[in-house]
Structure 1
Amino acid sequence: MFAKPFRVKSNTAIKGSDRRKLKADISAAFPSLSADELSELIPNKEELTVVKIYAHKGDAVTLYVLHKNPQFFELEKHIYPTVYALWRYPALLPTFKTWLPVLQKMIGGADLMLPGVVVPPSGVPDVKRGDCCAVTLVNNRAPVAVGTAAVSSAEMHSSGMKGKGVCVLHTYMDNLWAFGDKSGPPSLPEVDSEGQRVNEEEYEEEEEEEEVEETEENCVEDEQNSGETATDQLCSGAGELSLAEQEEENGQKGNEEIEEDQEDQKSPQEIMDALLVQCFLHALKSKVKKSDLPLLTSTFLRIHMFSCCPSGKQLDIKKSSYKKLSKFLQSMQQQHNLIRVKELTKGVESIVEVDWKNPELRFFRVPEEVDGEVAEAPHGGEGETLYRPPEITTLHSVTARLEPLFLDENKRKGTILQPAEVRRIVTEYVKKNELVNENNKNYVTINPTLCDCLLEKSEYQEVEFLKWDDLFSRTLGRMQECYQLMIPGQRPIIKKGHIEPIDISVASRGSNKKVTIIKNLEVYQLDPAAVATALQRRVQASSVLQPIPGTKDKVMVQIQGNQIHQVGCLLLDHYQIPRKFIQGLDKAVKGGKKK
């Protein structure tokens, strides 16, 4: 409803009688609000303004604004809270959970469809058609949208979670949100899921020993009956450990001898498959939390699986039977039911769910000796290498105006050249046409072709000679600038225009709190989620990813405080991004002090 700008009709201070009526209406609409909470939202003595607006479709809407932030809006005699009010009281409305890419669609004016709803174990909230409800994102209870239920909860279940779920009226980052102080949503962890995780861990500690013993007995019985190994019955990593322990208890062999014998009998491909499974289970068991989901599959491999590789070994998917990360994760999903992988955006897959109760994961024991450093990634394909800074090269494309100058070299319009190649072609053209000035070889005589290509109309009758440097600079200046990214393990990426620098800025939020914002990380093939996690560990401050308005599939990292100095150190030292491609480092607080 507020996806497009609205027109303000009036802006006046509320009267005392209207204030009392507003409080009564809000109390009736939201009975869960206590008297104290209602007084905080609609205080008796602080200035509260009433803003009457017309939405872009002509709907008359009344806003109630407190401290420059709209708290409620009234449409057709129904009162709805804004995201600013819901960030203070997130439990005010029944909520539906969805993914970050869905929010970008809702900001553009789309409604929430039921296939985009993440259904928790407790089920969808109990609502009736037309009830006011909110929308949150996975891993954060802070609402990001407000609307009305398109159908009741019973109809949602009967339809198989298909069709429209919530008619969205207002979202974070729309024009109503922009009418306030434009602050971002707070980071509110999901209490229920965290509590559930703790209960599961306690449950695991109580029953782990008994269940492991039963599983080992079953594995041994199955091996005797069918002649298959324990590795084939359960999984490579978990089965090998269980078998080794069983044989050690019987006094047959030590763990090291068993592992050596098994590795001798296996092919290199089978050994790599077993190592993959071990690192996969280790990463899920000790590295990944529910709050990390959804997690990019490339990030899971680069940050979590590589760090779980034992010292002295190297994880290389291309040497396994799977060849690609996507095929390996698909196997873990279909054959083992350990995870659920979903394509959130085109070509980008994420792990959206982990079955923490899966026996293979619960019975897996983390190896005692694992190198704490991230294992060196193989020089493999896309998404399978550790980050190394791309080589950035400035290029130039031949334009229609300059095409006659490059025809001798068969360089047509659109041909992309390096600056050195451009200088060579121009030099050969000058020498071939004998344009070097006889009296002074530092100058070049302008012929009709050079005149049309390089001179302005006002210079046609005046300029007869150009210096070599001026000739080259004019040629490059009239070509379309491009840039090339050379990323290890990938084909070169060539794009037109200037490369956008990584932009670091500091913004003020509510109560004069400062936050640091980092944009354009994707241009340099940096994972914003990985950068946010690294910064969070460095400065011990909360971070959040937010979509950048007006862009597709781009997000910015926002972290509390003025952290420009720390961001600069991370980008320059750890990721080795050249300083000339980072914008905003001059705004860092001297001495590294926070403001």
Structure 2
Amino acid sequence: MFKKPLSNLKTSAPLRSSDRRKLKQRVIAAFNVQPEDGDVLVPDGIESVKFITHLEEPGVAYLSKEGDPLWFTIGKGSEDLIPTVYTLWKKDDLLPFLSTPSAVIPILTGGADLMIPGVVHHTPALPEGTLVGIRQYSRQDGKSYLSVPLAVGQMALPSDQLTSGGKEKGKAVLVSHVWKDYLWEMGSKPDVPDDKAVQIGSESDGPESSEAEPGSENEVEPRPAGDDSATPPPPSEIDGQGELPEPIPSEGISYTPQEVNDLLTKALLQSITASLGSAPPSTFPIPATLFYTNHILPSRPAFPTLVQAPSSHPEDAEKIHIDPQEINIKSSSNKSLTAFLKSMDKLSLLTLKQPQKHSQQSDSLVTSVNGKHPLVLGHVSFPTVRDIETKAAKKAAREEKSKMAEVSHELGIRELWKPHLVTVDLFKGLGGSPSSLYTPMEIRSLIFDYVVANDLVNKGDKGYVNLDSLLRPCLEVKSGGKSKGKEPQSDPGLADFIKRDELIKKVIAKMQNWYEIQPPGKDPVQKKGQLKPIQVVVKIRQGRKASTMITGFEPFVVVDAEEMAEDLRKVCAGATSVSPCVGKPAGSGFEVLVQGKQGPAVVEYLTGKGIPKRWIEVADLSGKK
């Protein structure tokens, strides 16, 4: 649903008190929650914003004052509210749920639906069409854990068909929204809350309390142990395309803390071998936490037992799959990231710099890595978690592209903006690239990440942003920029703060317009300038005769003037002609003239070529006849 950026995203507007109360009552009635929960799920200051998905479906999103999307509807006039993961993280028992192994989550974030073999547990008695959350299932230290919901969707079939005796292939959940999609990107993007230990089915390793409240996360139905659809092939059976297996929990089998430490060391060696060893000096320093999350964790072995057999079952290592997520600092002998990095510093694999006393910087810094260390030179590479996730995401993207090609041959059109003049320094300060092209959502995300990181949210009204030395100059400089020999002029009426949406609009207004056209099955075409709709104008020409004139179609690449004139001559059964646009420089474009009032026929022809209807403007200047 939100695999691609939203288009036609309007400025958010606060809901009136009466509308907010109505929304709250809809939530209470639809999800059977208490009134006090309704105040949490529909907070004061909630805003609404309209959008259109990449499938041309209109929708409405409801945002908190901080900009986090909380609810959304899809379809014109739809009253069916769907909670986002931001809302489900506030109240994780709002929806019934299904669980899936951690290796499946990247496939869902890549745009795929949840398939039946990927279901580990589920809430019982779920009818088809039920709105459900999808959680990540994992095991650690002999205990079962469930994450907060990471995706939302509708059951594609009744839950009783998920167990043996029913269907073993096909879709289990049609995913509507998932963590890290473009709807999630609109918000503050917080860290995922910690997993919870649970008691599932007949397992005895759940929470201390074995009583499960109806509808709670403890009341789930495990898939039968004999259900082969839940058992993936061993890693050795993966084909050359790098298909991602769905790892099954390794019951009672785990690594010792020292073995986990050894595997994390191997992950560090892998990251140095693959990228960090040849990275330019400007890559460093890297804060310790980012070094761990961006380099070490993604470099963990995807199939750990093939890299290092667990001491408890060395002879059966090839038949066992231990979830790579179990390989983490908390499970290692070091217990803390600082201790682990200090031990790597002693081995001379990296150089670690501790924060200075009384400094605001509390995180250690990795200032360099040793790509010529004997351990690095002797390291044997292995498939990593990043490799598997990348292949899974590419596969999902290929499937989505293929699916879209079958469903529609419509052009992909994106309006983009590039930093220009005063906004170049702004984007450098935001951590972006001044030479890149951005969508409004990406601009919004960059600015709000900076605002949150630098504590610029106005304390009195969170709908406003305090201006600092980076944001203010961009708003102070007039649209003409610097005059020759003169300093930029300031706006004396500019306050110390500005409304969030107004800040985004002002920044975008100072940027350079670009656009991207992607014909089906071809590479996208990016050009500078503002993309304007095709003009289809009906006029009276040569006395009383009406003619239809089409201009501005050249940027859309799929329409040729001569070809269009010939096609419309046949479709409209009338004379057509092609000539240079009147009043414009030579070579700036053509106009196609069709005899008669042919507005509807022209629109049908252009949409048949894949041009979205919103990029066609029709005007009848012929008057009433």
**Structure of greater Rg:** 1
Question: TM class, shorter-chain normalised?
Answer: 0.3 to 0.5
TM-score, normalised relative to structure 1? 0.43
More helix, by proportion = 1
* Larger RCO (CA within 8 A; separation ≥ 6): 2
Q: TM-score, normalised by structure 2?
A: 0.41
